[in-house]
Amino acid sequence: MGPSSLDTPLVYLKGVGPHRAELLKKELGIQTYGDLLAYYPFRYIDRTRFYKIAETTADLPYVQILVRLKSFELIGEGRKKRLLAQAIDDTGEIELVWFQGISWVQKHLVLNQVYVIFGKVNFFNAKAQMAHPEIELYQKNALSRGNLKLQPVYSTTEKLKQHALDAKGIQKLTANVLDSCLQEVINLLPEYVIQQYKLVPRAQALYQIHFPSNAEDLRVAQNTLKYEELFQIQFRMLRAKLIRTQKFKGHIFDTVGEKFNRFYHELLPFPLTNAQKRVVKEIRTDTQRGSQMNRLVQGDVGSGKTVVALMTMLLAVDNGFQACLMAPTEILATQHYLSLKALLKDDFVSIALLTGSTKKRERAKIAAMLESGELSILIGTHALIEDSVQFKNLGLAVIDEQHRFGVEQRAKLWRKNFIPPHVLVMTATPIPRTLAMTLYGDLDVSVIDELPAGRKPIETLHLFESQRLRMFGFMKREIAKGRQVYMVYPLIQESAKLDLKNLLDGVETMRHEFPLPKYQISIVHGQLKADEKEFEMQRFVKGQTHIMVATTVIEVGVNVPNASVMVIENAERFGLSQLHQLRGRVGRGAEQSYCILMSGDKLSKDGRTRLETMVKSSDGFEIAEIDLQLRGPGNIEGKEQSGVMELKLADLAMDQHILAEARKTVIKIFEEDPQLEKPEHQCLKILLLKSDTGITLNKIS
Ligand code: ADP
Ligand code: MG
């Protein structure tokens, strides 16, 4: 493939000199003709039709209306001065408002003339209003020229505007590029895919997205480019996966040995759920195939992922390999270590904990045992991926709460061996299917979609600040029954000090209601040293304190079955999935558990929806789906590695069906033509040339 004129630097484009080229690069990152074509409008102004006043609603975008000006009225003084105009059509009345440029408006606009007004309609007391409309005298012949269009609007910056690169300026440049090299735009998608999904050729899509002839053509153009975007991500991910399975041999765990059996038949204190059994089976299949396993296990909080991880690790050990389990925080790693030790009862498997605060001497001992192979299972934090940690024969890496580990970090583990270990990733953050496909497109996904039997659903209620005493009363009754209570305060990084103050104030208020020595309180927050934190946590774990007041450090993993109440302060400040995670801290014992969401009396619309969702639903996947709708994918951790950030048009919440179709297509292509030898797939080879997706898997050897 030779150089395309789409790669031409912008400085050569008509209307762009060196100075503007530099500005475009600096301000918008646009450097070539192609970049400019990929700089899509962020909205369109509908100039294709006139609305009637009676038809307008507050959720319409910008509209144009034909009106007759009826009266002007100047009101207010000084800075509050504004000009109101009443305008009518045959369906109603609309008020026009100007705060600035008043004398210009007064001088140029004429009563009883017909004008085209253009802008956003708002409603005050059910009366339509438009502030600072674009306004021009209505000319019949302008209509007949057929220049009514969907006008693209590009986002731009103050600096660019100063150099005549406002939305219109950018549009002009885009037109120049389209004029000079549209014919060079080639299709990325195979012809039959374009046909099958009713898309259009790439050149046409690019033209239409910048200069739509009508709403329908625009929709098809957008669909095409969205499809292409999502297709590319899936193509790269699934190809990486293909290469990985072809290239990387995997250790074969074909023995179910003494340790696995001993645990399963003698120590496991409960029957596995069907979902757990299914996942263990999937893992067994993966690990006998001879290629590397990369499996994501999704399971709601409390679904029992830890046991699945442990059984997989025992399988590795039975086959002569070492295993490690990596957790995102020290508290979690410690908790895993303790609960695995408890599950294993005695020392028939050697297991150790390595974190940032492991003492030097202990560290050295662990290192020696790792290298000699004496140590079978290592639990820890990021400390595990330090270069000083060398396994003798790592066969399995389990990563808990993977979204906090990047692909890079995963890869780092693998370099430690010649044959990479199997990787099992566990996440308690249920991720909507669409997002899982995009974020973890290179992983196989298992779902534990069943909670252990006998769990009582957690009762969730939402109380306002004015009902605080009721909440305190409830806490006291639960504590009197021998239960324990979590009380969580939000933590926002930027104002950690303020949040801490919030928490401490809260504790002080509580003290009146919960006096010493009758009520013992643990306080845990980010400003404590690790050992202080640990001490306070342990007091609660051992049942020495009744209430644990904490910031979100307890979000994941902490397991205290006797705790039956989770109070979340300022619940409206938390995201949905975080609320769900927190709620999962209770309901782990036999008792009925409760989650109380405390909020201020005033709530935003989103805040209200979040709290209502929590009260209504306990299904992590449903909650995750609603979360995605509310927040968009922008806030979901892990997205940086996945290409989601690069999405220009597609919206993972809105365009799930396109993603599903694109993925299906890519899977089929790789099944039928893995080497891309068919003539109709030659167009895809350009995707092989394009560099990195952030997936480093195929670069390891
Ligand atoms: P998570 O999936 O959130 O990591 P855990 O693995 O911590 O969940 O399990 C939550 C609790 O449920 C633990 O106390 C665990 O021992 C228990 N558990 C796990 N599997 C089962 C099961 N099949 N039956 C009963 N209890 C189970
Ligand atoms: Mg867990």
pLDDT digits (tens, 9 = 90+) for 432-482: 766 777 766 677 888 898 888 877 889 999 999 999 999 999 999 999 999
Q: Which domains does the chain have, with CATH numbers?
A: 49-148 (2.40.50.140), 202-247+652-689 (no CATH), 258-448 (3.40.50.300), 459-617 (3.40.50.300)
Q: To which H or E segment does residue 339 belong?
A: helix 330-344
Burial of 113 (0-12, 13-18, 19+ CB in 10 A): exposed
Span from the CA of 555 to the centroid of ligand 2 (angstroms): 11
Mean pLDDT is lowest, of 64-73, 156-165, 684-693, for: 684-693
Q: Give the SS3 label for residue 360.
A: helix
Tell me, using a 6 A CB cutoff, whether residue 303 lines ligand 1.
Answer: yes
The predicted pLDDT at position 253 comes to 95
Instruction: Choose the residue to mutate in 277, 280, 303 for probing ligand 1, maximizing ligand atoms within 8 Å of C-beta.
Output: 303
Tell me, using a 6 A CB cutoff, whether residue 56 lines ligand 1.
Answer: no
Rounded Cα distance, 211 and 36, in Å: 14
The predicted pLDDT at position 138 comes to 83
Residue 500 has pLDDT above 90, yes or no: no
Q: What is the pLDDT of residues 313-336, one digit of tens each?
A: 999 999 999 999 998 878 788 889
- Find the ligand nearest to 328 CA: 2
The predicted pLDDT at position 134 comes to 84
Residue 119 has pLDDT above 50, yes or no: yes
Q: What is the pLDDT of residues 617-650, one digit of tens each?
A: 988 888 888 888 887 665 555 444 445 556 788 8
Tell me, using a 6 A CB cutoff, whether residue 452 lines ligand 1.
Answer: yes
Return mean pLDDT, the chain.
86
Mean pLDDT along residues 56-63: 83
Q: What is the pLDDT of residues 531-581, one digit of tens each?
A: 888 888 889 989 999 999 998 766 545 678 899 999 999 999 888 888 998
Span from the CA of 305 to the centroid of ligand 2 (angstroms): 6
Residue 407 has pLDDT above 60, yes or no: no
Rounded Cα distance, 688 and 691, in Å: 8
Give, to the nearest 10 degrees, the angle between helix 330-344 and helix 530-541: 40
Rounded Cα distance, 440 and 338, in Å: 30
Rounded Cα distance, 343 and 263, in Å: 8
User: How would residue 427 be classed by pLDDT, with cut points 50, 70 and 90?
Assistant: confident
The predicted pLDDT at position 490 comes to 84
- Find the ligand nearest to 340 CA: 1
The predicted pLDDT at position 103 comes to 87
DSSP character string of 42-100? SEEEE-S-EEPGGG--TT--SEEEEEEEEEEEEE--GGG-EEEEEEEETTEEEEEEESS
* Nearest residue (CA) to ligand 1, atom 22: 452
Tell me, using a 6 A CB cutoff, whether residue 589 lines ligand 1.
Answer: no
